[in-house]
């Protein structure tokens, strides 16, 4: 089969690598000049790497880690201890450390017990309130989707302080929205994995750029096996034949049409919605995509003349817009900067900030950062970079989960991959990996059932 994939983000690349291993001809089309989607990176005029986000990986990412191991990329990450370090103006640095010698879930509960921003009463209430989800299963967690996490948290008697000091920050790190905006299922799914798997809370960052550590090696493998990854090739519409209920081609921005036997959209859901033909919008499957909207987020890098935070790990903050941040010169060995900090921030919630002029945004972040790390007042800011993403991962709002589509669409030769599609994990690179693997399985099932037949024509440009 000849498979055309729109999107060279994690879902598209995982699908491509798996399909080419199964003997299929694969062509990946990417509208940008760099691969990686939400996990992309590129160099600026000074040769410094700019990242589309603070790319954090967890021990719970079994599908992604297995995929990278399988293709010789298992040594990609710089692993950190299983500890969430919170920075606040009032308490300084305080960590929730998962105690390595205790079994799950006691290892996490013991870490909460030592977390100094919470009172003893807060800790007891939080421990009691979390008994049901941490000793439960995914089916229970799925049933909590229609309620916000904040509502669920307070309804289970855990109190406002633990919500403010821990859970708003956790929700922002997961979905770029506060806990009163996101579904309870989102946070509870993460806690379920942390409670049941010993290594799930371990965190890692790529040793350097994901572009040279993950995506370029995968592209090289795909092309060595006869596939193609074409950057700067934007899909603008889908050529759909209603009579045969088949996609006939992807139309590109240069007016050409690329054809195949099977088509996969691995584009973000907001981009897919733009190119769905009107005839397909008559299906509830495609009409329901309107409920899946992206979260705005900003990634900001500040280059200083000295070391600031001095922490070789991720940092989280409560009560600020700096939901998670890190000194890339410390956490990513290939980004060493001669002892000078490269502070990279995920700025969220970003609805009210994303349209600010650069200078105002930098000033805003600097003010919040200096409150958390007063030493930054003495440092000189040498440079900054800003990446605004109006639509990042889909907003996991209460009640939205039921609209996530299966990877097999009502169109016989059209499939979807992406972390917004239905799979058991969160909107993340792990979720994207799982979706891609499920997409490939749906295609193989269709082939085995005889519902897919090679009918492609040559690419017009060939």
* Mean pLDDT, all residues of the chain: 93
Can you tell me the mean pLDDT for 21-30? 97
pTM of the model: 0.94
Number of C-beta neighbours around residue 419 at 10 A: 27
Q: Where in the chain is the domain with CATH 3.30.70?
A: 297-389
User: Which residues are within 8 A (CB) of 298 and not within 5 positions of it... i.e. 6 or more apart?
Assistant: 345, 346, 347, 348, 350, 353, 354, 361, 386, 387, 388, 389
CB 102 within 8 A of CB 87: no
CB 111 within 8 A of CB 99: yes
**Structure tokens belonging to residue 241:** 């034949």
Q: What is the CATH number of domain 2-38+209-292+396-448?
A: 3.50.50.60
CA distances from 152 to 90, 146, 167, 313, 355 (A): 27, 10, 11, 30, 32
CB 417 within 8 A of CB 8: no
Q: Please give the Cα distance from 16 to 29 (Å, whole number).
A: 11
pLDDT, tens only, 178-196: 999 999 999 999 988 888 8
User: Which residues are within 8 A (CB) of 300 and not within 5 positions of it... i.e. 6 or more apart?
Assistant: 344, 345, 347, 361, 362, 365, 384, 385, 386, 387
The b-or-e profile of 54-92 (16+ CB within 10 A means b, else e) is: bbbbbbbbbbbbebbeebebeebbbebebebbbbbeeee
Name the strand (E) or helix (H) holding 51: strand 49-51
- Looking at residue 133, its pLDDT comes to 84
- Looking at residue 367, its pLDDT comes to 97
pLDDT, tens only, 348-404: 999 999 999 999 999 999 999 999 999 999 999 999 999 999 999 999 999 999 999
- 3-class secondary structure for 365-431? HHHHHHHHCHHHHHCCEEEEEEEEECCCCECCCCCCHHHCCCCECCCCCEEECCCCCCCCCCCCHHH
pLDDT, tens only, 313-351: 999 998 899 989 999 999 999 998 788 999 999 999 999
Handedness of CA 307, 312, 314, 317 (dihedral sign): negative
pLDDT at position 456 over 80: no
pLDDT at position 408 over 90: yes
- Looking at residue 457, its pLDDT comes to 40
Q: Please give the Cα distance from 117 to 185 (Å, whole number).
A: 25
> From the CA atom positions of the chain, what is the Rg in Å?
22
CB 205 within 8 A of CB 420: no
> What letter does residue 183 receive in the DSSP assignment?
B
- Looking at residue 230, its pLDDT comes to 98
What band does 109 get if pLDDT is binned at 50, 70 and 90? confident
Instruction: Choose which CATH entry (3.30.70, 3.40.50, 2.40.160, 3.40.390) describes domain 297-389.
Output: 3.30.70
> Which residues sit opposite 240 in a β-bridge?
247
The bridge status of strand 83-88 relative to strand 315-317 is: parallel
Q: Where in the chain is the domain with CATH 3.50.50.60?
A: 2-38+209-292+396-448
Q: Which residue has the tokens 């500890």?
A: 83
What band does 137 get if pLDDT is binned at 50, 70 and 90? confident
pLDDT, tens only, 82-92: 899 999 988 89
- Looking at residue 454, its pLDDT comes to 58
User: Which residues are within 8 A (CB) of 462 and not within 5 positions of it... i.e. 6 or more apart?
Assistant: none
Q: Please give the Cα distance from 11 to 3 (Å, whole number).
A: 14
Q: Quick one: angle between helices 62-70 and 429-448, nearest 10?
A: 70
Can you tell me the mean pLDDT for 289-293? 96
Of the two residues 382 and 134, the one the predictor is more confident about is 382
pLDDT, tens only, 200-255: 889 999 999 999 999 999 999 999 999 999 999 999 999 999 999 999 999 999 99
Q: Please give the Cα distance from 289 to 18 (Å, whole number).
A: 26
């Amino acid at each position: 089969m000849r498979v055309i994939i729109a999107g060279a983000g994690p879902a598209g690349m995982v699908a491509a690598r798996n399909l080419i291993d199964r003997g299929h001809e694969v062509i990946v089309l990417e509208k940008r000049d760099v691969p990686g989607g939400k996990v992309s990176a590129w160099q600026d005029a000074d040769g410094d790497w700019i990242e589309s986000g603070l790319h954090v990986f967890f021990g719970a990412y079994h599908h992604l880690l297995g995929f990278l191991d399988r293709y010789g990329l298992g040594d990609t990450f710089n692993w950190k201890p299983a500890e969430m370090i919170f920075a606040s103006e009032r308490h300084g640095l305080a960590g929730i450390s998962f105690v390595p010698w205790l079994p799950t879930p006691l290892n996490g509960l013991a870490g909460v017990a030592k977390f100094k921003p919470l009172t003893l009463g807060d800790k007891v209430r939080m421990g009691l309130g979390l008994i049901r989800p941490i000793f439960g299963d995914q089916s229970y967690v799925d049933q909590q989707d229609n309620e916000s996490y904040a509502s669920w948290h307070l309804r289970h008697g855990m109190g406002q302080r633990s919500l403010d000091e821990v859970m708003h920050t956790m929700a922002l790190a997961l979905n770029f929205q506060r806990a009163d905006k996101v579904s309870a299922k989102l946070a509870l799914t993460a806690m379920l994995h942390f409670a049941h798997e010993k290594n799930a809370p371990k965190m890692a960052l790529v040793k350097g750029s994901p572009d040279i550590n993950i995506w370029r090696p995968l592209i090289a493998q795909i092309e060595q096996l006869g596939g193609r990854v074409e950057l700067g090739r934007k899909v603008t519409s889908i050529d759909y034949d209603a009579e045969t209920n088949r996609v006939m081609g992807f139309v590109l921005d240069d007016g050409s049409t690329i054809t195949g036997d099977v088509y996969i959209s691995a584009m973000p859901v907001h981009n897919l919605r733009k190119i769905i033909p009107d005839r397909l919008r008559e299906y509830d499957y495609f009409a329901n995509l309107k409920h899946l909207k992206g979260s705005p987020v900003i990634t900001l890098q500040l280059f200083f003349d000295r070391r600031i935070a001095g922490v070789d790990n991720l940092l989280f903050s409560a009560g600020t817009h700096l939901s998670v941040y890190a000194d890339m010169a410390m956490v990513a060995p290939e980004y060493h900067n001669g002892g000078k900090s490269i502070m990279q921030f995920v700025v969220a919630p970003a609805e009210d900030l994303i349209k600010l002029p650069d200078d105002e945004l930098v000033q805003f972040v600097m003010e919040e950062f200096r409150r958390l790390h007063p030493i930054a007042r003495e440092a000189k800011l040498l440079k900054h970079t800003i990446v605004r993403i109006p639509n990042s991962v889909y907003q996991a709002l209460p009640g939205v989960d039921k609209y996530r589509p299966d990877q097999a669409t009502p169109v016989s030769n059209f499939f979807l991959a992406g972390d917004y599609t239905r799979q058991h994990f969160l909107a993340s690179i792990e979720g994207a990996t799982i979706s891609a693997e499920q997409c490939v399985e749906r295609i193989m099932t269709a082939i085995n059932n005889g519902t897919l037949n090679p009918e492609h024509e040559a690419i017009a440009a060939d």
